[in-house]
Structure 1
Amino acid sequence: MLKSRSKRMTMDRLSASSTGSNSPETKSNMVLAIECLKGSSKADEWNQNMLQTGDIVEELKIGNYLCVPSPFKSGTTGIQKLLRESYKRNETSIHVRVRRGQDEFIQLLACIVPNESSSGRKQYMLKSIDDPNYTVGFSDRTEEDCLAVQGSKSFRVETALRRAKLQDGYVGYPWEKKMQDLMPVANSSCFLSLLLLPKASDSGGAQYNDLEDTLSRANAWLAASQAHGVPIVFLNIQTESLLTKISGETASATVNAGSLSDLSNLANVSLYGFEDYHGVDIGVVRAVRLWYAPFGGELAVEIKLQETDLKLGFAISRTDEGFIYISSVIDSDEKEDAGPTPSTRSGLTYLYKEAQKASKLLIVSRVSNEKVLPWMVSSTGAIRCYDTISLSQKLSLHRHALRPILLHVFVWDPSLVSVSKIGKYNKPVTTAAPPPVMAIPPPQEIHLPQGPPQPTNDNKVHAEVASDVKVLQRDTAGEVSFRFNDFSVSTNWV
C-alpha cells in the first residue's frame, strides 16, 4: 500500500512538472523577425513606414500563387527554402506584412535576390522596390526579444551605425568641356615647373652628384631668375623618380630585397639601383622638380596685323636661365605716316615700359597658347629652352600671313589688367591668376638694378626688314643647348 501511494505521488509530481513546462510563462514563443541588412539611401530610413529590425513577420505573399501566414514552419530555414524555390522559378516579387507592437501593421513590396555577403550556404534576402539600396533578411527571435528591440530606437540606430559602411565608385566627368570652358588657356595648365636632372660628376656620365647638389642648383636658378627681373615666385619643390637601365658600378647605392637597412643609404643619393626578377640592373634617378608661378599671373596680348605693317615693333631675347622676353620696342607715334606699330596698338609697348619702371623683364610665356618657357636641365647642366631664332621666324610668318599673334606675358602687378592702365589702344584680353605662393628665403639679399635689366647673354633676335624674310640658321650643340652665330643684319626688330 505504501508502494502504491509513493508511486502515485511520483506520477503526480511528474505530471505537475510536465504541465508547468508547457505553460505560457516558461515556453519560448519563437517568431520570424526582420533583420535590416542594408540601410536606405533616402532620408526616411527611420520612418515608421519602413521595416525595421525586430518587426514580426505575419504574412508572406510570393507572386500571385502563394500566400504563407504565420507561424512559419522551421523558421528561417523553411523561409530560405521557400525563397530559393521561388527564385529558381523566376517568381521574385514578394509582399511582406509585419507587426510592430500589438496592433500596428506595416507592409513592404520587395523582390527576392541572392545575398552575396552571406557565408556558407547560399542565402536570399529581400530588396525594396522603392529603394534598391534597402535590403532586409529574416532571423529567429522570441516575441519578447522582438518587442524589446522595437521599443528601443536607439538600439536600432546603434546597430545600423555599427553595420554601416562607406562605399565608393566611379562617376563620369566632362573633362573636355571643363578644360575648354574653365581654363584660361584651353587644354593647357597654368602649372609651371623646371625639371633638374642630377649633374654628372665625370665626363663619362657614370657618377652623379648627390641630391643636395641638385637642390642647390634649383635654388640658384630661381634666385638668378628673380635677380634678372623675371617676375616669378617659388611654389614648391619635390624629388621625382625616373627609371633607367644601368650597370652595377654606376649606382651610388643599391637596394637589396628584404633589407630595410639599405634605405638609410638612399637619403641623399641621386642615383640608386636594384636588380629585378630577370637579373637586369634598374637605376632610379632622383631628379628635382621646381614649381614656380608668375607673381601676378599670365596676361594674354593679341597683336592684330594690317597690310601696312612693315614691322611688329619689338625685339625678343633670352636670359641665361632660358626665359624669352621682350628686349626692346619701337616707340612710334600715330602722327607718323606709317602709323603706330602692332606692338603699340596691342598694348605691348605700354607693358614693356611699365616693366622697365618696375625693373622687371616682360617675359613671354606662351606663343599661340604654346608654352615657350625653360622646362628641363640636363645631366650636363645645360638648360633646355626655346630657340629665339625659330620664334622670330614664326612671328615673321604671322606678319606676312596677316594672322593675329597671341602672346602671353608674365605680370608682376595685377592692376595692369584694368582697361584704364592699357592706354588708348587694344588691351590684353585675358588673364590667368597665379596660385597661392609660398615664400622661400634667398641665401643673400638681392639688389635689383634701378634701370632696365640687362642679362649678360641676351641672344637677341634678328628678323626681317620690310617685306623680305631672312631665313636664319641655328647651330645646335646636342639637343639641350643652342649656339648662335654673329649675324650681320641691319636691324634687331621683328
Structure 2
Amino acid sequence: MPMDRSPYSSSSSDSSQFSSSSSSPSKGSTIVLSIECLKGSSKADEWTGDMLQTGDIVEELRIGNMLIKSPFKNGKSGVQKILHNSFKQKETSILVRVRRGSDDFAELQACIVPGDQFLGKKQYVLRAIDDPNYAVGFFDRTEMECLNLQASRTSRMVSALERTPLQDGYVSYPWERRMHEMLSVPNSSSFYSILFLPKVSDKAGSRYNDLEDTLARAHAWINASQASGVPIVFMNIQTESLLTKLSGDTASSAVNTVSISDLANVANTSLYGFEDYHGVDIGVVRAVRLWFSPLAGEIPIEIKIKDTDTKLGFAISRTEEGFIYITSVIENNEETPAARSGLSSMYKQASNTSRLLVVSRISNQKVLPWMVSSTGAIRCFDTVSLSQKLSLHRHARVPIIVHVFLWDMSANLANVGSIRARAMSTCPPSLPTEVHLARSSHENQVMPLETKEEDEDEDEEDEGPDTVLERDTAGDFSFRFRDLALKNNWV
C-alpha cells in the first residue's frame, strides 16, 4: 500500500559502515537488494499490499536502534553478515521497508531466524511476526529485473494458483467416548441392512433372474414389512458385487464379457463372468443391499428377574419377513417381569397404533433378518433358540436387556442419553399414538410351554408336552416351534 518514506534518524557512523554512496552507471543495470518469498502465508494474503513479494526492492532495514539504508554494501552477502551478528547478539527483531515502482512502499515486521530449511545453515531468513509460516529472504537482482517481476505480479499470482496444491491432514477424534455418548445403543449403530441375492431361475442353478427381479423382491419385502406393522423406514438401496468361482454350465452361460462392446449386455444381469489370466472362470454376482432404520429409533428395556418369577410374562413370534416381535403379554398381572419393566405397557400402546413391538436386540445382539438366499429363503433368527435364551436368563436370575423399535416420532428425543436413562428405569415411557397401519397376525408363537395347571411352578423348556420341532420352510438354518395341544405359549 502507498506509504511515505519513514523519517528514521540515525547517526552517520551507524549507517555509513553498511551503506555505499557509489552511484551506478545505469539505473536499469544497477544491482539492488530484493526480496525473495520463500514460504507463503498460512493466511493466504501474501499477495496483498501489506505483505512483501518477490521482486520488491529493499530500501531500509531497522534492527533495534540500527538503521541501514539502500544501497547496501556488498548486497546480499553484506546483509547476511549483519543478520548473523544481530542473531548472535540476540537482536532478532527487524523492520524491512521495500519499494515497488517509484512511489509504492510496504513494511514487514519480522524476526531473524536461521535459514536451514530454505537457504542453508549459514544463511538467515525473516519470518513474519504475525504469521510464522510466512518467510522471505534476500536476493541480488538488477533494478530492471525487480521492476519486471513487479509488473508480472498478476501472471505470478495465476502461476502460484495453478501450482499450489491442497494439503491433507489428520485430526484426532475421541471415537470411544463419542460412540458411547452419541448413539442410542452404545458402540452400535441403528442402521440396518438386508442383502438380497439374485434368485436361481433354473433347477441346475446355472442361471439367475436379472437385477430388476432382485430390486422388485427387495421393494416387496420392505413394503410387506411396513404393512405388517413393523415400524421401519426405507433409507437407501444399492447393488453389491460379490466374487465367486464359476464352473460347469454356470461358467458357460455367464462368461460372456470378452470386450467393451459386451458390457451393455450385462447392465441388468445378476451374474456375469470373465476368465482371468490363469484360465479360471470368475463370476460377479450383483446382489442388492437394502438399508432401513427404525421409524423413531430403538429403546432398551431392562427386564429384572426376581426369585419368585415363574415366567417372563410375554410371548414372541416371527413375521413372514423375518422380524421378531412380541406376540402377547400376560394381562392383569403387575408382578410379571414384563409388566414391571414397562414392556407390557409398550406392547399395548403399540397394538393401539396397529404397530408390532419388534425386538431388535437381545443382550445387545441384533436379531433382525440380514440376508435373502438365492432360493428366496430369508435368513433370520430362530425363535426356538431365542426363547431358550430368554428362559435361561430367568432361571439364572440374570437381567435381560431387550431393545425394541419405537414407532412414535415424538418419543425420539434429541438427547439419546436421556432415552437410555428413562428406558432403564422401571417407569415405562409415555408414548402417544399417531400412525395407523393394517396389522397382520402370525400364528407361530414360539415360546417354551407352561403346563396345563397354571398354579404349578415349572420350567417351561423342560416341561413341553405335545410339542414338535419342524424345519422352517424359510431355510435350513431356522426351525419353527409349533404347539399342537395348548392354546398359550409363554416365556
1:309 maps to which residue? Answer: 309
TM-score, with structure 1 as normaliser: 0.71
How many residue pairs align between the two structures? 420
2:112 counterpart (84, 109, 112): 109
How many angstroms apart in 2 are the aligned matches of 1:326 and 1:23? Answer: 99
1:385 aligned to 2:384?
no
Structure-2 residue corresponding to 1:453: 440
Work out whether 1:365 is the aligned partner of 2:360.
Answer: yes
Whether 1:322 aligns to 2:325 is no
User: What is the CA–CA distance in structure 2 between the aligned matches of 1:23 and 1:391, rounded to whole Å?
Assistant: 98
> Which deviations, in whole Å up to 9, do the C-alpha atoms of 1:17-62 show, x marking residues without a partner?
xxxxx985564223342232432225885798864333335899xx
Q: For 1:55, give the aligned amino acid.
A: D
Whole-Å Cα distance in 2 between the matches of residues 290 and 27 of structure 1? 74
| Residues 318 and 324 in structure 1, CA contact (< 8 A), matched pair in contact too | yes
Q: Is the 8 A contact 1:253 1:265 kept in 2?
A: no
Structure 1 unpaired stretches of 5+: 1-21, 61-68, 87-92, 117-123, 335-339, 432-446
Could you tell me which residue of structure 2 aligns to residue 493 of structure 1?
490
Give the equivalent residue in structure 2 for 1:483.
479
Name the counterpart of 2:213: 213
| Contact 2:324–2:359 (CA under 8 A) maintained in structure 1 | yes
Distance 1:138 1:296, change over 3 A: same
Aligned to 1:41: 42
1:289 deviates by 0.6
Q: Which runs of structure 2 are paired with 1:151-190 in the superposition (5 Å)?
A: 161=161, 164-190=164-190
What corresponds to 2:256 in structure 1?
254
| Aligned equivalent of 1:470 | 461
Amino acid at match of 2:56: D
Query: 2:64 maps to what in 1?
Result: none
Task: Please report the RMSD computed on the Cα atoms of aligned residues, expressed in angstroms.
Answer: 4.4
Deviates more, 1:394-403 or 1:320-329: 394-403
- More off after superposition, 232-241 vs 99-108: 99-108
Cα 1:300/1:313, change in 2 over 3 Å: same
DSSP-derived class of the 2:200 partner: coil
Higher mean alpha-carbon deviation, 292-301 vs 139-148, is at 139-148
Q: CA deviation at 1:299?
A: 2.3
1:426 Cα deviation from its structure 2 partner: 2.6
Task: Give 1:463 deviation, angstroms.
Answer: 4.5
Unaligned 5+ segments in structure 2 are: 1-22, 62-69, 85-90, 452-456
Call closer, same or farther: CA 1:260–1:462 in 2, change over 3 Å. same
CA contact (8 A) 2:446 2:481 kept: no
Partner of 2:98: 100
Task: Give the aligned partner of residue 438 of structure 1.
Answer: none
Identity of aligned residues (%): 54
1:128-277 to structure 2, matched below 5 A, reads 128=127, 133-136=133-136, 141-143=141-143, 146=146, 161=161, 164-247=164-247, 249=251, 252=254, 254-256=256-258, 259-277=259-277
Distance 1:353 1:41, change over 3 A: same
User: Conserved in 2, the CA contact under 8 Å of 1:474 and 1:482?
Assistant: no
Residue number in structure 2 paired with 1:30: 31
Change in Cα spacing, 1:144 to 1:189, as seen in structure 2 (3 Å) is: same
Give, in angstroms, the shift of residue 281 of structure 1: 2.1
Deviation at 1:292, TM superposition (A): 1.4
Q: Residues of 1 paired with 2:50 and 2:113: CA distance? A: 14
> In the alignment, is the contact (CA less than 8 A) between 1:59 and 1:96 conserved in 2?
no
- C-alpha distance 27-322 of structure 1, shift in aligned 2 (>3 A): closer
How far has the Cα of 1:280 moved from its partner? 2.5
* Residue aligned with 2:302, SS: strand
Superimposed CA distance per residue, residues 180-201 of structure 1 (whole angstroms, 9 cap, x where no aligned partner): 2211111111101110011111
Aligned pairs for 1:277-356 (under 5 A) are: 277-334=277-334, 340-356=335-351
By how many angstroms is 1:267 displaced?
A: 0.9
| 1:455-480 CA-partner distances (Å, limit 9, x unpaired) | 3x535323466342525896667975
TM-score (norm 2): 0.71
Question: What letter corresponds to residue 34 of structure 1 in structure 2?
Answer: I
Give the whole-Å Cα distance in 2 for the aligned partners of 1:192 and 1:40: 47
